[in-house]
Amino acid sequence: MSIVIQLLINGLIAGAIYALVSSGFSLIYSTNKFVHFAHGSTIAFSAYMLYLFFAILKFNFGFSVILAVILASILGLGMNFIVYRALRKRKAAELILLIASFGLLILFESLILIFFGADVKTIDYIKVAKGMEFFGAIITPLQIVIIIVSFMLLVSLFFLMKKTKIGKAMRAVSDNRDVAEIVGISSEKIYNWSFVIGSAIAGIAGVLVALEQNLDPTMGTGLVIKGFTAAIIGGIGSVPGAILGAFLLGLVENFGIWFLPSGYKDAIAFVLLFIFLLFRPNGILGKKKEGDRR
């Protein structure tokens, strides 16, 4: 029984990390309608900023976290403002924006490598300790924080999208940009807001991942692939769906590698993705578009 609970906890921890990535990723996709792979570099950037402020410059931990998240948010906004907006002005297709996002991902990975080097780094704020027992399973305080933050994000994003003016405007742009423009919603403004909020969430993800795992310049790439998979499983464009997809992905991966060799972890994730693409292409919470024939 304790094994099942431990696997459940392992799945929830992995899912919570994926959820932090996929929620911001999905939020940006829902309004901008292109896959922002450079979201991975925002996560890595935030992790390295925390390392810079806390481990190198010896700032207060809380202050370092706030700075890292703010800078991640500014980075996201900057990417949209400098690169994507310029491309949109030139009527660039979604594919061009996707290629640009790949370019940005590689650029920022390389910049991190140049400025921080390739050696493995850890943020020694929470000392490695024995985990706490929970119904025979073991979980560390940091892992509890990751799960709680992820659930809080799920609730906050739900309220942001449903109850706030900006959330409603985001949904309007997401549904139909032209109609939203007619009723006076500036789509450019909404794009900026989605990058600010989405990148701030990526910043939080970067901070938590940096505390739980190690830092390396390519850390964002693996995470954004899992975040993307989770977003498709949950329903691309649906933020709550992306979070649910992330938890499902984390659980399936961890239960899967209990029975199969762990080398199959990624294969398990992609089999799950294929199953969804075949039998439920709109994902868990994704809406069926008009004209979808099934």
Partner 1 sequence: MEYLEKRKRGTEDKKMIKSKNKWVFALIMILLLAGIITYTNNPKQQKDEIIKIGAILPLTGATAQYGESLRDGMELAKEELEKKGLNLEIYYEDSAGDPKQAVSAYQNLKLKDTDIIVSALSRSSMALVPIANNDKIPLIMTVVSAKIEKTPYVLRFYPNDTGYADAHFSVINTTKYKKISVLYVNDEFGISLKDAIKRNAKEKGIQVVYEEDFEPGTKDYRTILLKVKETNPDAVMVVGASPAEIIGPLKTMKELELNADFFEIATALSIKSVRSQTDTEGAYTTAFPFVLSKSGNEFREQYTQKYGKEPFFAAPFGYDIVNLISQATKGKKVSGEELLNNIYGLKTFNSSNEEIQIKENGEINPALYSVKIVKGELEEVRA
In the complex, the residues that contact partner 1 under the rule CB under 8 A are 3, 6-7, 10, 13-14, 109-110, 113, 117-122, 124, 127-131, 138, 140, 213-214, 216-219, 222, 254, 257-258, 261-263, 265-266
Q: In the bound complex, what is the minimum distance in angstroms from residue 108's beta carbon to partner 1?
A: 13
Q: In the bound complex, what is the minimum distance in angstroms from residue 285's beta carbon to partner 1?
A: 26
Q: In the bound complex, what is the minimum distance in angstroms from residue 166's beta carbon to partner 1?
A: 34
The span from the CA of 245 to the CA of 200, in Å, is 20
Nearer to partner 1, 74 or 225 (CB): 225
Per the CB < 8 A criterion, the answer to whether 213 and 18 are in contact is no
Q: In the bound complex, what is the minimum distance in angstroms from residue 122's beta carbon to partner 1?
A: 4
Question: Phi, psi at residue 125, to the nearest 5°?
Answer: -90, -45
Per the CB < 8 A criterion, the answer to whether 112 and 48 are in contact is yes
Nearer to partner 1, 6 or 64 (CB): 6
Q: Which DSSP helix (H) or strand (E) runs through 137?
A: strand 137-139
Contacts of 231 (CB under 8 A, 6+ apart): 22, 25, 26, 29, 241, 242, 245, 283
Nearer to partner 1, 17 or 161 (CB): 17
Nearer to partner 1, 110 or 186 (CB): 110
Cα angle for residues 40, 38, 255 (degrees, 5° grid): 35
Q: In the bound complex, what is the minimum distance in angstroms from residue 258's beta carbon to partner 1?
A: 6
Per the CB < 8 A criterion, the answer to whether 54 and 265 are in contact is no
CB atoms near residue 159 (< 10 Å): 10
Nearer to partner 1, 150 or 282 (CB): 150
Q: In the bound complex, what is the minimum distance in angstroms from residue 275's beta carbon to partner 1?
A: 21
Nearer to partner 1, 119 or 290 (CB): 119
Per the CB < 8 A criterion, the answer to whether 138 and 74 are in contact is no
